[in-house]
Amino acid sequence: MDKRLFLVLASLALVFPLSSGADDGKPWDPAVGTATITGSVKFTGKKPRSRPIDMAGADEKCAEAHGGKRLKPDTVILNDNGTLRNVFVWVKSGVEGWSFPMPEGDAMLDQKGCMYSPHVQGMRKGQSLSIKTSDPTAHNVHGYAKVNRPFNRSQPAGAANVTIKMKRDEASPPMKVKCDIHPWMNAYVAVVEHPYFSVTGDDGSFKLENLPPGTYTIEAWHEKYEVMEQTVTIGDKETKTVEFAYPKS
């Protein structure tokens, strides 16, 4: 080979390596995923006040879906057992080097009664977010992505789903989705490279299963409060509990 051509190719190979690291880790081996991290997110502060949403003044079709009952904003939802709902808990670091199988189907975000459902969710990088409308009124989905490409789509009643492919990680903070027509509507979608994420539900608990043994940074994110982090080291077939408490005192 020509000596100069060899030098050019060799330097190109250094600058643009064929395997781009994290994206093409070794294929996931389910046999090593034996460890589990569980826990819950407590709420220790004073219950924050909230005021009801008046949908009827802006759009009667939204209010009709709730039979005249006023909803409260879904920003801070406290569970009866003193825990906080809609906290996104995920493994921020420690699982690099694997290539995990993709889940089947799209992540779903529904617009029902002029509210987003679910309010907070996680999805995988490379997966598509499918935004559905179940309402008899027009919506406009506006994704305020900071890492992925932002989107802004009008969706009249009965329109087909709006499908957006999420190509990059965007979990800290998650992408905010808003409706431009109904300002009280908002949702958060976290895009993660691996399957280790969870959203606290009506019991405030989370579970990160099938982790390989190792040391992990666990992050908890809530739309109103500060981000929290904890480091956990976990052995083979072990289950460890991690507790978070909001708000930070």
Residue 79 sits in the site that holds other proteins (CB under 8 A): no
CA distance 249 to 242: 18
CA distance 217 to 235: 15
Nearest to 61 by CA among 157, 195, 170, 151: 157
One of 25, 28, 34, 58 touching other proteins (CB under 8 A): 58
Residue 34 sits in the site that holds other proteins (CB under 8 A): no
Residue 149 sits in the site that holds other proteins (CB under 8 A): no
CA distance 23 to 16: 14
Tokens describing residue 99: 């290539």
CA distance 185 to 139: 10
Q: How far is the CB of 249 from other proteins (least distance, A)?
A: 18
Residue 28 sits in the site that holds other proteins (CB under 8 A): no
One of 124, 182, 194, 222 touching other proteins (CB under 8 A): 182
Residue 131 sits in the site that holds other proteins (CB under 8 A): no
Binding segment (CB under 8 A) for other proteins, from list 34-42, 59-67, 122-130, 193-201? 59-67
Between strands 98-99 and 26-27, the pairing is parallel
Distances (CA, A) of 205 to 44, 91, 201: 15, 15, 7
Residue 136 sits in the site that holds other proteins (CB under 8 A): no
Which residues lie near other proteins (CB under 8 A)? 48-52, 54-61, 70, 73, 75-76, 138, 140, 152, 180-184, 186, 223-224
